[in-house]
Amino acid sequence: MNPVAIFRHSPTEGPGYFAIFLESRRIPWALIPLDAGANVPESADAWSGLCFMGGPMSVNEDLPWIAPACALIRDAIKKDIPVLGHCLGGQLISKALGGVVSRNPVPEIGWSVLDGGADAVSRRWLGGYAGRMLDVFQWHGETFSLPEGATLIAKNACCAHQIAALGPHLALQCHVEMLAEMIDDWCAHWQEEVAPTPLPSVQTPERIRAELPEKLPVLRRVADQLYGAWVSGLGGGA
């Protein structure tokens, strides 16, 4: 199997648990650190799948790698090579397919609960979480519109488009890849991120860290379900 390409846009937003999951399934992967000046491949042919991580920037910024990344996403989707996006990565998928990325009604930071869909597409991705609540982690101020043909499979009161699926491709606004050390690092930069304000959707670092021992194992199970569904499409689509 060709490796999965994992695109990093910020040094603090690496693959996290996603890399651990791939290694546990003996699926090869390669990191492409765009934040360190790596180039975006012109074709998706060398990869079994593409994964785009998060980042503090906006896909609406004039950054040199955004247009090539969107072109690569379109190339992969045309060739049925599965694409996965986390937060900024999910927004890149939407932008690549003609969607719009705009400011969310409120920023979301910290632990969060989503409402899982119950339709056939949701059941394929969510498994036993279909029609139920999913515990996730959030750190975003923007959100994406659903690209044409995509199915919304999870939402919450703060953000209407949390997880969307299109064939073997999955766009997440939320984060399921978190490791304890990543959460601790992000909390250290809390004041700099998304202009935190005293809103119910924005948790303090103290609360985030206090809930970590209980919430992180639950997040792992959600990640296992979503990642397991995604890797089932490697090498042949969904």
For residue 114, the domain's CATH number is: 3.40.50.880
Burial 127-159 (b: 16+ CB within 10 A, else e): eebbeeebbbbbbbbbbbbbbeebbbbbbbebb
Give the pLDDT score at 199.
81
Specify if 93 maps to a domain: yes
Give the pLDDT score at 217.
98
Closest CA to 75 of 39, 37, 49: 49
133: Cβ–Cβ under 8 A, 6 or more apart, which residues? Answer: 113, 114, 115, 116
Residue 165 has pLDDT above 70, yes or no: yes
Task: Give the lowest-confidence range in 66-70, 169-173, 201-205.
Answer: 201-205
Tokens of 183: 């959460």
- Which domain, by its residues, includes 203? 4-231
Specify if 119 maps to a domain: yes
Specify if 100 maps to a domain: yes
Give the pLDDT score at 120.
98
Mean pLDDT of the chain: 95
* Per-residue CA distances from 73 to 23, 45, 52, 192, 219 (Å): 23, 11, 10, 30, 27
Residue 154 has pLDDT above 80, yes or no: yes
Contact 83, 49 (CB under 8 A): yes
Tokens of 150: 């995509």
CA 182, 138, 194, 206 torsion-angle sign: negative
Give the pLDDT score at 193.
67
Specify if 201 maps to a domain: yes
Specify if 238 maps to a domain: no
Specify if 48 maps to a domain: yes
Residue 238 has pLDDT above 50, yes or no: no
pLDDT band of residue 196 (cuts 50, 70, 90) is low
Specify if 237 maps to a domain: no
Query: Taking the complete model, does pTM exceed 0.85, yes or no?
Result: yes
How many distinct structural domains can be found in the chain?
1
Give the pLDDT score at 237.
39
